[in-house]
């Protein structure tokens, strides 16, 4: 049976999952694909630590050149994460005629364009199913299953850590800090959770989803990113009373000829399927013009889940290699109906706003007067408590407005003496 | 640019959708796949009726031989539905060296094994993404995206008509007959809805899902099938009070070394994602050992949705043809941990049972006595009304029991003089 040799860089959590699956499912995979996927070499800085799989000593190396310079190795699997030296390893491997599988969303978000174009120049493929939604086959679905479709929007919950925190605040009626603490203790949040809770990890994945759906490679600086660390339990509860859940969404959305690409906490109607996605699960909602509205749901992280996606990429590559197929840009082309990336000032959205105001006659009139001056119209107002001497929360739902108008109105309102602090502003999505 | 010629049999709703997409997305598809998919001939018994796409007269034929005998046609797309003559057309096309795309679940459920084996013998492929869940890429996901996984269960809502009826009974508090009438008026139910509401369409799709997930081709006679026409509004409402929704599920589920393959109305906890799938939408839940629990959701029918899936199959076939790839059984192999198909008598399930009983002392004791005799234990009992002279509903939730024990117990209970009519029995699923 023909053997396809694989070199693996990064023998960590996912890496050892890949080795485990390729071993334990060796005959299953061979029977399915008619050839053998053989891990020839595994490279890691630490080759002495015990993993949950054992490798013969001569399969392990600390020098990536043992993989890159081995002409018998057909595929490099990059699982070290981070931009450097992962990027250099991949470029070197492509130069040596290898195909590549990676789960590295941070790298692809930053240097994907360069890497994909290098691969295309060399007639090689880079597959990256594990980089978004772990084992959920969302990338294959967008590229292949929905190949004939144009997309109105692709949006979803793509960061398990922040979804765990928001769900657990809602479920356990606890603060952000308490929820984060529990997430850490369960291994769902890193010691430094900034990438996850400030939305950057979601932004990386969103850049890939936007590329897949609209054929545009958006720079990280062009993605509007807002995290969840400012979300108070009070807002989750007020939203719930009004029939909404708060989720951190990554959104790529066409509006006319513009594309909005953004990550932010979002009020979603509680009967929206995404509102029922709790804990560390991910779900991506795809609004397509032929296949309609689709949802792809599953665990967004986990050793075997991510490794399952890496192995599916390996299987696809074996078929490409066997057939001499070259499809680095297969099914990713630019959506030419999109003329420009919308600037944040021009974003349009409905809004949830919580003001902390003095409970005095005329306060609401003053606030709504300013909003009206900027052409912003109020859908509903609810005052949550009564207290003559303290600042009290007033929650407004605002009809669709332009971000710029909203910001300008708020900067006027913030200067009022009846306003205690910067209001909490959370965008809303319908679909 | 290389051209792949397609012959289409069945110029109905989905067929004209396929023509429409291939035309309107011609340049998009060519750019993506590097070759042209060309509809060379379209065959239908009626070639004079106006469709929403116009074809040159010489492209239309009433004689399928014009496609089957044309050596320039690489792919036959079969969209006439039904077993005959679709089966003969496909067999003939395979014999002539053509690959095949079909959306025909009834045919594949009945003759899939023969057709796939004929295709394999001739080194040709049969793709059938549109046959389950229309545009939802569930077949590709099971075959390719989850290639390394073993499955615990695959279950879901795969018939839009019955889901529309059940959702609308629940939402509009109306009877089955009223909901069916509305479904008909909206075009969501056929004039004769038997195939849909009695579960047979779901069973066809389940046979394909079972083949994809477990590599077993189960005969229709081996699938336990129960429809929804006996579901009363009262049961939907009692279930709702207890925190459950009633859905028609198609279920393939491993339990130990047995496989249960069954279609029946099912009580699902209301917080299960499938409970939120309303109207004509479909959703398939996949419990896999590596990628975890996944859900695939989308419209289960519709011209463009199904056509989107047919076109994705065509694209995959063009890649296979270009590369000389032969993968008729790619990624479908037998799960050898499954030793036998479980007989319905041995099914295990929790149950919802509504008895209509006389409100007399000792009635509950008699019923529960019989259940206990058969080793069946009661989880909860609620009596819905009080009325000394009439039969009143008593709803029981039963802990996991064997189907045979349940049937035996019920046949004893049914003979009691305090029981008005055959009780309503609905199975429950947890996961």
B335 domain-assigned: no
Model confidence pLDDT, tens digit, residues A119-147: 999 989 999 999 999 999 999 999 999 99
- Best probe of the B interface among A35, A137, A167, A320, by most B CBs < 10 A, is A137
Assign A137 to helix, strand or coil. Answer: coil
Q: Has the ipTM of the complex gone over 0.85?
A: yes
Q: Give the sign of the dihedral formed by CA A353, CA A355, CA A361, CA A365.
A: negative
pLDDT-derived band at B431 (thresholds 50, 70, 90) equals low
pLDDT-derived band at B323 (thresholds 50, 70, 90) equals confident
Range scoring the smallest mean pLDDT among A350-354, B51-55, B166-170, B293-297:
B51-55
Give the CA radius of gyration of chain B: 24
pLDDT-derived band at A330 (thresholds 50, 70, 90) equals low
- Whether residue B207 sits in one domain with residue B124: no
- Whether residue A361 sits in one domain with residue A295: no
- Tokens matching residue A219: 């720079």
pLDDT at B430: 81
- Whether residue B223 sits in one domain with residue B194: yes
pLDDT at A389: 72
Q: Name residue, tokens 């902390």.
A: A356
B380 domain-assigned: yes
Model confidence pLDDT, tens digit, residues A242-275: 999 999 999 999 999 999 999 999 999 999 999 9
- Please tell me if residue B304 touches chain A, with a CB cutoff of 8 Å: yes
Distance CA B236, CA B360 (A): 26
B24 domain-assigned: yes
* Residue environment code for B16-41, b if the CB has 16+ CB neighbours within 10 A, otherwise e: bbbbbbbeebeebbbebbbbbbebbb
B323, B355, B376 — which closes off a domain? B323
pLDDT at B326: 67
CB atoms B290 and A299 under 8 Å: no
Residues of A in contact with B136 (CB under 8 A): 291, 294
pLDDT at B3: 95
Angle at which helices B160-172 and B233-241 cross, to 10°: 70
Q: Where are the alpha helices (DSSP H) in A324-402?
A: 363-373
CB atoms B297 and A31 under 8 Å: no
pLDDT at A319: 86
A139 domain-assigned: no
Of the partner residues A147, A315, A324, the one whose CB lies closest to the CB of residue B147: A315
| B356-364 average pLDDT score | 90
Model confidence pLDDT, tens digit, residues A29-87: 999 988 999 999 999 999 999 898 989 999 999 999 999 999 999 999 999 999 999 99
Q: Which of A279, A205, A271, A210 is nearest to A431 (CA)?
A: A271
- Whether residue B205 sits in one domain with residue B83: no
pLDDT-derived band at B330 (thresholds 50, 70, 90) equals low
A14: nearest CA partner in chain B: B290
Of the partner residues A137, A315, A319, the one whose CB lies closest to the CB of residue B325: A319
Q: How far is A390 from chain B (nearest CA, A)?
A: 39
**Hey, what's the torsion of the CAs at A356, A362, A366, A371, to 10 degrees?**
80
Of the partner residues B149, B288, B296, the one whose CB lies closest to the CB of residue A296: B296
Residues of A in contact with B134 (CB under 8 A): 291
CB atoms A28 and B333 under 8 Å: yes
Model confidence pLDDT, tens digit, residues B199-230: 999 999 999 999 999 999 999 999 999 999 99
CB atoms B148 and A28 under 8 Å: yes
Distance CA B147, CA A21 (A): 11
Count up the domains in chain A and report the number: 3
Phi, psi of A297 (to 5 degrees): -130, 145
Of the partner residues B136, B288, B291, the one whose CB lies closest to the CB of residue A294: B136
B191 domain-assigned: yes
CB atoms A292 and B307 under 8 Å: no
H/E run at residue A40: strand A36-43
Interface of A with B in 44-103 (CB under 8 A): none
pLDDT at A386: 73
| A183-211 average pLDDT score | 96
Of the partner residues A146, A295, A308, the one whose CB lies closest to the CB of residue B290: A308
- Please tell me if residue B294 touches chain A, with a CB cutoff of 8 Å: yes
pLDDT at A327: 62
pLDDT at A55: 92
CB atoms B148 and A25 under 8 Å: yes
Of B205, B247, B254, B262, the catalytic one is B205
Model confidence pLDDT, tens digit, residues A97-121: 999 999 999 999 999 999 999 999 9
CB atoms B312 and A140 under 8 Å: no
B299, B331, B365 — which closes off a domain? B299
Please provide the average confidence, as pLDDT, over all residues in chain A: 95
- Whether residue B309 sits in one domain with residue B396: no
A337 domain-assigned: no
Q: State yes or no: pLDDT of B328 exceeds 60.
A: no
pLDDT at B52: 87
pLDDT at B38: 97
Q: Give the sign of the dihedral formed by CA A297, CA A299, CA A305, CA A306.
A: positive
* B191 in catalytic set: no
The top-scoring range by mean pLDDT among A112-126, A322-336, B76-90 is B76-90
Distances (CA, A) of A70 to A10, A36, A75, A93: 17, 18, 10, 10
Residues of B in contact with A24 (CB under 8 A): none
Check if the beta carbon of residue B189 is closer than 8 Å to that of residue B177.
no
Domain containing B153 — which CATH number? 3.30.360.10
Distances (CA, A) of B342 to B52, B256, B261, B402, B428: 47, 11, 8, 12, 18
SS3 annotation, chain B: CCEEEEEEECCCHHHHHHHHHHHHCHHHHHHHHCCEEEEEEEECCCCCCCCCCCCCHHHEECCCHHHHCCCCEEEEEECCCCCCCHHHHHHHHHHCCCEEEECCHHHHHHHHHHHHHHHHHCCCCEECHHHCCCCCCHHHHHHHHCCCCCEEEEEEECCHHHHHHHHHHHHHCCCHHHHHHHHHHCCCCCCCCHHHHCCHHHHHHHHHHHHHHHCCCCCHHHCEECCCCCCCHHHHHHHHHCCEEEEEEEEEEEECCEEEEEEEEEEEECCCHHHHCCCCEEEEEEEECCCCEEEEEEECCCHHHHHHHHHHHHHHHHHHHHHCCCCCCCCCCCCCCCCEECCHHHCEEEEEEEEEEECCCCHHHHHHHHHHHCCCCEEEEEECCCCCCCEEEEEEEEEEEEHHHHHHHHHHHCCCCCECCCCEEEEECCC
B41 domain-assigned: yes
Q: State yes or no: pLDDT of A331 exceeds 80.
A: no
- Whether residue B130 sits in one domain with residue B49: yes
- Please tell me if residue B24 touches chain A, with a CB cutoff of 8 Å: no
Q: How far is A369 from chain B (nearest CA, A)?
A: 40
H/E run at residue A275: none
Domain housing A179: 144-299
Q: State yes or no: pLDDT of A329 exceeds 70.
A: no
CB atoms A292 and B312 under 8 Å: no
Q: Name residue, tokens 């053998």.
A: A36
A323, A356, A385 — which closes off a domain? A323
pLDDT-derived band at B332 (thresholds 50, 70, 90) equals confident
B85 prior amide bond cis, ω within 30:
yes
Check if the beta carbon of residue B213 is closer than 8 Å to that of residue B284.
no
- Whether residue B247 sits in one domain with residue B164: yes
A301: nearest CA partner in chain B: B291
Distances (CA, A) of B336 to A25, A120, B112: 13, 41, 20
CB atoms A137 and B146 under 8 Å: yes
- Whether residue A287 sits in one domain with residue A151: yes
- Whether residue B396 sits in one domain with residue B370: yes
pLDDT at B348: 94
pLDDT-derived band at A326 (thresholds 50, 70, 90) equals low
Check if the beta carbon of residue A393 is closer than 8 Å to that of residue A234.
yes
Other Cβ atoms within 10 Å of B377 Cβ, number: 11
Q: How far is B115 from chain A (nearest CA, A)?
A: 19
- Please tell me if residue B333 touches chain A, with a CB cutoff of 8 Å: yes
pLDDT-derived band at A431 (thresholds 50, 70, 90) equals low
CB atoms A311 and B147 under 8 Å: yes
Share of chain A above pLDDT 90, in %: 89
Q: pTM for the whole thing? A: 0.97
- Whether residue B308 sits in one domain with residue B295: no
Of the partner residues A29, A276, A292, the one whose CB lies closest to the CB of residue B299: A292
B73 domain-assigned: yes
Model confidence pLDDT, tens digit, residues B380-417: 999 877 777 788 999 999 999 999 999 999 999 999 99
Distance CA B22, CA B29 (A): 8
- Whether residue B125 sits in one domain with residue B55: yes
pLDDT at B253: 97
Active site residues of A: 205
- Whether residue A266 sits in one domain with residue A197: yes
Q: Which of A193, A195, A165, A194 is nearest to A280 (CA)?
A: A165
């Amino acid at each position: 049976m023909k053997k396809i040799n694989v070199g693996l860089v990064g023998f960590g959590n996912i890496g050892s999952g890949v080795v485990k699956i390729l071993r334990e499912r060796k005959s299953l995979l061979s029977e399915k694909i008619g050839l053998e996927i053989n891990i020839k070499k595994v490279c890691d800085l630490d080759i002495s630590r015990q993993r949950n799989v054992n490798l013969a000593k001569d399969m392990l190396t600390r020098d990536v050149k043992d993989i890159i310079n081995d002409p018998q190795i057909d595929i490099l699997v990059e699982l070290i994460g981070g931009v450097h030296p992962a990027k250099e390893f991949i470029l070197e491997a492509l130069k040596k005629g290898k195909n590549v599988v990676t789960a590295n969303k941070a790298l692809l978000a930053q240097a994907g364009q360069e890497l994909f174009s290098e691969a295309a120049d060399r007639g090689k493929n880079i597959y990256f199913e594990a980089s978004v939604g772990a084992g959920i086959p969302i990338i294959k679905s967008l590229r292949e299953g929905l190949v004939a479709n144009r997309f109105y929007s692709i949006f979803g919950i793509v960061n398990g850590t922040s979804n765990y925190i928001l769900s657990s605040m809602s479920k356990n009626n606890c603060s952000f800090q308490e929820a984060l603490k529990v997430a850490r203790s369960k291994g769902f949040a890193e010691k430094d959770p900034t990438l996850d809770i400030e939305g950057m990890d979601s932004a990386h994945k969103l850049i890939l989803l936007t590329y897949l759906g609209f054929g545009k490679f958006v720079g990280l600086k062009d993605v509007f990113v807002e995290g969840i660390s400012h979300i108070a339990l009070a807002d989750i509860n007020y939203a719930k009373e009004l029939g909404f859940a708060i989720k951190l969404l990554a959104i790529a959305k066409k509006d006319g000829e513009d594309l909005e690409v953004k990550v932010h906490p979002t009020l979603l109607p509680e009967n929206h399927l995404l509102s029922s996605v709790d804990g560390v699960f991910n779900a991506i909602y795809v609004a397509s013009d032929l296949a309609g509205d689709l949802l792809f749901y599953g665990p967004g992280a986990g050793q075997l889940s991510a490794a399952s996606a890496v192995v599916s990429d390996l299987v696809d590559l074996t078929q490409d290699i066997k057939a001499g197929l070259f499809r680095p840009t297969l099914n990713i082309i630019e959506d030419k109906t999109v003329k420009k990336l919308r600037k944040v000032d021009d974003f349009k959205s409905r809004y949830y706003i919580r003001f902390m105001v003095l409970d005095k006659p005329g306060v609401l009139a003053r606030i709504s007067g300013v909003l009206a001056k900027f052409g912003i119209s109020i859908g509903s107002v609810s005052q949550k408590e009564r207290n003559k001497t303290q600042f009290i929360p007033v929650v407004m739902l605002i009809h669709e407005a332009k971000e710029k108008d909203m910001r300008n109105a708020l900067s006027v309102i913030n200067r009022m003496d009846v306003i205690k602090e910067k209001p909490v502003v959370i965008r809303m999505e319908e679909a």
